[in-house]
């Protein structure tokens, strides 16, 4: 209440509590990270869903492809073709996020298979699986 007191009924008896009678503590539950500061408490869900894990794999692949573009001396606006070899969860991630990967890397194609005529290639580890990715300039 405005006066800093709260009256509650406990076992049919009215009890008035003041701010000094109440102790508020934050406690984390499984899957949540909790912090409090200056009267504000924030909880963040830290559970990784399969979709979030796949998105993380896709982001790592985008970063690797863009590093390959830079290392190969390609211009920022050069279109490329990407070839990759990935199985299991990483292969599923590439399929699920293919549009995102192509958009973020200016790739005209994203093709599973062995590198053919690659200008740059790299093998990386995503989620314990080996992924090989290769790029070549389009046109």
DSSP bridge pairs for 14: 9
Same domain, 64 and 132: yes
User: 106: helix, coil or strand?
Assistant: coil
| Enclosing domain of residue 12 | 5-45
pLDDT in tens, 62-121: 999 999 999 999 998 999 999 999 999 999 999 999 999 999 999 999 999 988 788 999
4 band by pLDDT with thresholds 50, 70 and 90: confident
| HSE value, Cβ hemisphere, 13 Å, CA-based, for 127 | 21
26 and 62: one domain?
Answer: no
pLDDT digits (tens, 9 = 90+) for 10-22: 888 888 877 777 7
Assigned token pair, 96: 């699920």
Total of domains in the chain: 2
Q: How many other CB atoms are found less than 10 A from the CB of residue 63?
A: 13
Using CA atoms of 117, 118, 122, 125 in order, give the dihedral in degrees to the nearest 10.
Answer: -70
Joined together, the tokens standing for residue 104 give 């973020």
What local confidence, expressed as pLDDT, does residue 45 receive? 84
Q: Between 100 and 4, whose confidence is greater?
A: 100
């Amino acid at each position: 209440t405005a006066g800093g007191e709260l009256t509650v009924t406990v076992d049919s008896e009215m009890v008035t509590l003041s701010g000094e009678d109440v102790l508020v503590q934050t406690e984390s539950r499984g899957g949540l990270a909790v912090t409090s500061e200056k009267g504000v408490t924030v909880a963040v869900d830290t559970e990784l869903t399969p979709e979030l894990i796949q998105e993380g794999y896709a982001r790592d692949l985008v970063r690797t492809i863009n590093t390959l573009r830079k290392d190969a001396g390609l211009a920022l606006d050069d279109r490329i073709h990407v070839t990759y070899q990935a199985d299991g969860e990483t292969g599923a991630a590439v399929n699920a996020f293919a549009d995102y990967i192509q958009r973020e890397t200016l790739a005209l194609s994203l093709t599973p298979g062995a590198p053919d005529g690659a200008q740059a290639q790299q093998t990386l580890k995503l989620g314990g699986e080996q992924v090989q990715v290769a790029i070549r300039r389009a046109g």
